[in-house]
């Protein structure tokens, strides 16, 4: 486990995210957060690490185990996202409703039934008429399998410009793997990495009581009051390997302005990052460095 008070680094990744769409678990159609959560950013980083370092990706790995490994093995303590101008839309997509079946339908979907009825299922899916009707297989197909696919709405974000991913870590090697990030969110949401920079965290910390400006989203508890022209979303945050849900403040794209806020210096440290020719005043939870 990383020791306290050791050297920490800010890894800043410039990324072009073509589309972004993540729905809450077990929900076919819902309004989703327009930006990737810190948990999503850590998942995006751990995918190439597991693929190229361990040469294995386990679909059975729990989220808790993933963030724990990111912290204990790779020293990833925190992640944040610089929100570019964006627009939201809703699309219609085909959904696999396997996990949303009614109990009476779900009882049909067993390995034994699928293997038994594989020939019948293949013919029905191919549009071939089945002369010798197996009543049990017909019931399986009609009552469960053909209802597994449907059409539902999905909220989607389109970012107008590249963004920045921010990672705080005690492991310099993490910066190498950020170049290998290929998606953020679902596998269709492609990310293109343009540049990676690394800074010593201690040199970036500033002491300020003035109003700060940033396009990074911020945990609401790290600021005093609610800034204007912002939206509030509950996101999955990760701090030192601990997964928590908390309220984040993000800029509203229609205004195109940075978040102007007063940081709560009892709960936050402020780091000053150069981005796009200006400085970003980013609030980080104090427990990340303590």
DSSP codes of every residue in 1-59: -PPTT---EEEEEEEEES-B--PPTT-SS-PPPSS--HHHHHHHHHHHHHHHTSS---T
Q: Give yes or no for residue 106 having a pLDDT over 70.
A: no
What average pLDDT does range 251-265 have in this prediction? 82
Task: Calculate mean pLDDT across residues 255-264.
Answer: 84
Q: What is the pLDDT of residue 150?
A: 67
Q: Six-digit token pair at 280?
A: 């970003």
Quick check: 3 pLDDT over 50? Answer: no
CA distance 47 to 189: 14
Q: How far apart are CA 97 and CA 79, in angstroms?
A: 32
Q: Comparing 8-12, 13-17, 230-234, which segment has the lowest mean pLDDT?
A: 230-234
Overall pTM > 0.95 = no
Q: Does the pLDDT at position 58 exceed 70?
A: no
Cα dihedral 282, 75, 66, 96, rounded to 10, equals: 40
What mean pLDDT do residues 98-111 have? Answer: 66
Convert the pLDDT of each residue in 144-168 to its tens digit: 776 676 676 777 888 989 999 999 9
Average of pLDDT values for 160-183? 94
As a whole number, the mean pLDDT across the chain is: 83
pLDDT class for 5, splitting at 50, 70, 90?
very low
* 146 DSSP 8-state letter: G
Confidence of residue 188 (pLDDT cuts 50, 70, 90): confident
Q: What is the pLDDT averaged over residues 251-258?
A: 75
């Amino acid at each position: 486990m990383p020791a306290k008070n050791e050297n920490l680094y800010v890894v800043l990744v410039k990324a072009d995210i073509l589309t972004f769409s993540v729905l809450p678990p077990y929900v076919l159609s819902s309004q989703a957060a327009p930006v990737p959560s810190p948990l999503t950013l850590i998942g995006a980083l751990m995918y190439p690490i597991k693929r190229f370092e361990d040469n294995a990706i386990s679909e059975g790995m729990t989220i808790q185990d993933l963030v724990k490994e990111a912290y204990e093995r790779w020293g990833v303590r925190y992640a944040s996202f610089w929100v570019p101008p964006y627009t939201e839309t809703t699309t219609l997509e085909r959904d696999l409703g396997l996990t949303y079946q009614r109990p009476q339908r779900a009882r049909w979907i067993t390995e034994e039934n699928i293997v038994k009825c594989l020939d019948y299922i293949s013919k029905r899916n191919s549009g071939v008429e089945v002369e010798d009707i197996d009543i049990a297989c017909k019931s399986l197909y009609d009552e469960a399998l053909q209802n597994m696919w449907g059409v539902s709405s999905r909220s989607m974000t389109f970012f107008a410009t590249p963004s920045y991913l921010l990672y705080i870590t005690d492991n310099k090697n993490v910066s190498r793997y950020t170049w290998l990030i290929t998606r953020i969110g679902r596998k269709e949401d492609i990310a293109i990495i343009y540049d990676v920079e690394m800074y010593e965290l201690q040199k970036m910390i500033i002491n300020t009581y003035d109003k700060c400006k940033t396009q990074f989203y911020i945990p609401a508890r790290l600021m005093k009051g609610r800034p204007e022209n912002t939206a509030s979303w509950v996101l999955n945050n990760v701090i030192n390997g601990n997964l928590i849900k908390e309220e984040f403040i993000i800029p509203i794209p229609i205004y195109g302005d940075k978040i102007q806020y007063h940081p709560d210096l009892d709960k936050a440290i402020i780091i000053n990052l150069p981005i796009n020719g200006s400085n970003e005043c980013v609030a980080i939870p104090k427990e990340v460095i303590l």
